[in-house]
Chain A
């Protein structure tokens, strides 16, 4: 179940497992607010304490787009290569609502267990 081949269960492993669980949700939260460029997503996540590698983000976004939850459009840049801006569509919003509820239940349960 663990990605690492180590027999020792190290902390980093579990940390990354926990992160993996909520990453998609966090990304969708940012996109839900409005059309956004992947690099901006990375920036915000880093600022707010959940850094992610762009090499992880892009596959995620592509998967979500393929699943039909995200749309994108190309924006030409004056002094550089064109950019892909992602936005959430109706199906995506439905999916997101489900995840939101899941998160509320989960975080609530964990909070209660910790107390």
Chain B
């Protein structure tokens, strides 16, 4: 229990943490009650001084910090707000200004004195008079299933005003610090439901035990305790662990058991707390070992994933800076790695050390900041992946063709030597140098594949397709354009490069190349071994008969067919994309025109209607005039 040093009416006082919370609540209630009356301010100030005196004398008498018992005794002397209301004189009440809003205590606040994170659940619990745990579980479940929970919680947090709220629940679920194997969850549940702790433990453990042991040996076919029940049990335990607290004061112990809170019960409970039961029994220790084993088994894979992610990102370093080519992406990358991967590793390590050395856990602000930074890392990791995926959702290529003026029937294809390369100093990263290299002004990778086909005419030629991914087909095509591929024809020999290059300041978007060598019928191409990682190495490729389609095996033919289908699919996708754009633009044009035309029509209609009205009126007037004339005539005739 923490001791707080508070300065109250210029006196230095020491409170037990929970006693102070109770005191604050009581003081606020008194203040509200009196401020509703005339001269309430003065009355309250006088009472404050009196309370201060009492607090001092209690400290002197007990020689220790002010406890909940002391606060309860003070409340008995001064009076709780309900008692004061009852005892107040009726005449006096009439002369006092009464608050016009008696529904005041039905307003929703967030709790200032009892909060786990922001006091939202505690406030909701107070409003509905139920255990805040219900709302905590609700928020956790909402967040885990849809992320919504966090948003809702944040809205509540921003909208509700903080207020010191009294406890108005008769029974709450706490974790039992006295009877605990792991965290006291089962003990607390046992207290709440008034059963024995071992029963609850059996309920939690049975899916785990049954799933790991019995199910292996006997085929029950029941599927009663399969992996999902075990997982649910573990997850439920962890959630309850996070969302409940251990009892830290006698009044909380009473709440956990659903007993009345008054001076006597508090005194009894304080007594009982001093003779607490031992939670170190043999059975409990066995259970504890078991539990740690399970936790370890669960944590190891998580640990492994995080470590591999970390090493992966470090070793991909040179390529990483090319993929994340804008500052925004770079920053997101750093944030993600740091807070999403490194932070939990560090936290896990620290937790392990703490557990072994028996040091007390970190305080709330530290825990909150760890959690907050990790959430930030998670958010940036998600954003980063979303952005990157968005940048790479379509593939496109740029094609180039050139003929090979070979003399003779055989073409020798060799690897292009590095001295034809446009690079100065070449830095390599040993682990991935086979795939990716970096020089001062460009990246290069050996993602070049080689194919061969029958040439439709009499000459050799080479077709290069430079692929890239990007944002939409247009973006992908742009990315493909910036790639470079080298080839040379000299000494009657064709030199093809192993590499495809991308200039350094351009985004690296998995540019790769497909080089197809077309060999005419009756001629041969000999390709040097080692040309590219997908090459067919030093094979002789001779086209002789007509039905030797192109020397390709069935698999290769199928692969080609698949490629064609895929390409057709992509072409139709591309067409769709372009036509969508056209439609959008056309709609915009249409919209403008149609609206204008409709307006015009409306206006014209209105005009016409008005005109008709006017004409009608004119007619009416004319009729009237005629009638008048006729009458005049008749009159004059009769005269």
Binding site for B on A (CB under 8 A): 1, 3-4, 16, 20, 38-39, 42, 52-56, 58-60, 62-63, 66, 77, 79-84
Taking a contact as CB atoms under 8 Å apart, the answer to whether B47 and A58 are in contact is yes
B83 within 8 A of A: yes
CB-CB under 8 A from B34, the residues of chain A are 59
Taking a contact as CB atoms under 8 Å apart, the answer to whether B87 and A53 are in contact is yes
B94 within 8 A of A: no
Question: How many pairs of A and B residues are in contact by the CB < 8 Å rule?
Answer: 74
Taking a contact as CB atoms under 8 Å apart, the answer to whether A63 and B78 are in contact is no
CB-CB under 8 A from B11, the residues of chain A are 80-81
Taking a contact as CB atoms under 8 Å apart, the answer to whether A53 and B78 are in contact is yes
Bound: A93/B90 CA distance, A: 24
B267 within 8 A of A: no
Bound: A81/B7 CA distance, A: 12
Bound: A16/B37 CA distance, A: 21
Taking a contact as CB atoms under 8 Å apart, the answer to whether B79 and A54 are in contact is yes
Can you pick out 20 interface pairs between chain A and chain B where the beta carbons lie within 8 Å of each other? A1-B90, A3-B85, A3-B88, A4-B86, A20-B90, A52-B87, A53-B79, A53-B87, A55-B78, A58-B43, A58-B47, A59-B34, A59-B39, A60-B92, A62-B42, A62-B46, A80-B11, A81-B9, A81-B11, A81-B52
What are the 7 closest A-B residue pairs judged by CB atoms, nearest first? Answer: A53-B79, A55-B79, A55-B84, A81-B49, A54-B78, A55-B78, A81-B52
B77 within 8 A of A: yes
Determine which of B52, B77, B89 lies in contact with A42 in the assembled complex, contact meaning CB atoms within 8 Å: B77
Instruction: List 12 other contacts, CB 8 Å, given A42-B77, A56-B79.
Output: A1-B90, A20-B90, A53-B87, A54-B47, A54-B50, A59-B39, A62-B43, A62-B46, A80-B53, A82-B49, A84-B46, A84-B49
CB-CB under 8 A from B43, the residues of chain A are 58-59, 62
* Minimum distance in angstroms from A112 CB to a CB of chain B: 27
B contact face: mostly helix, strand, loop, or mixed: helix
CB-CB under 8 A from A54, the residues of chain B are 47, 50, 77-79
Taking a contact as CB atoms under 8 Å apart, the answer to whether A81 and B77 are in contact is no
CB-CB under 8 A from B329, the residues of chain A are none
* Minimum distance in angstroms from A42 CB to a CB of chain B: 7
Bound: A42/B86 CA distance, A: 18
Taking a contact as CB atoms under 8 Å apart, the answer to whether A56 and B53 are in contact is no
* Minimum distance in angstroms from B556 CB to a CB of chain A: 93
CB-CB under 8 A from A55, the residues of chain B are 30, 47, 78-79, 83-84
CB-CB under 8 A from B53, the residues of chain A are 39, 77, 80-81, 83
Q: List CB contacts (< 8 Å) of B38-72 with chain A.
A: 39, 42-43, 46-47, 49-50, 52-53, 56
Taking a contact as CB atoms under 8 Å apart, the answer to whether B9 and A59 are in contact is no
Task: Determine which residue in B9, B89, B90 has the highest number of CB atoms from chain A within 10 A of its CB, and name it.
Answer: B89
CB-CB under 8 A from B87, the residues of chain A are 16, 20, 52-53, 56
Q: List CB contacts (< 8 Å) of B445-469 with chain A.
A: none
CB-CB under 8 A from B47, the residues of chain A are 54-55, 58
Task: Determine which residue in A1, A3, A20, A54 has the highest number of CB atoms from chain B within 10 A of its CB, and name it.
Answer: A54
* Minimum distance in angstroms from B615 CB to a CB of chain A: 76
CB-CB under 8 A from A81, the residues of chain B are 9-11, 49, 52-53
Bound: A83/B54 CA distance, A: 12
Taking a contact as CB atoms under 8 Å apart, the answer to whether A59 and B79 are in contact is no
* Minimum distance in angstroms from B96 CB to a CB of chain A: 8
* Minimum distance in angstroms from A81 CB to a CB of chain B: 5
* Minimum distance in angstroms from B324 CB to a CB of chain A: 65
Taking a contact as CB atoms under 8 Å apart, the answer to whether B46 and A58 are in contact is yes
Task: Mark B74-111 against chain A: 1 for CB-CB distance below 8 A, else 0.
Answer: 00011100011111111010000000000000000000
CB-CB under 8 A from B39, the residues of chain A are 59, 62-63, 66
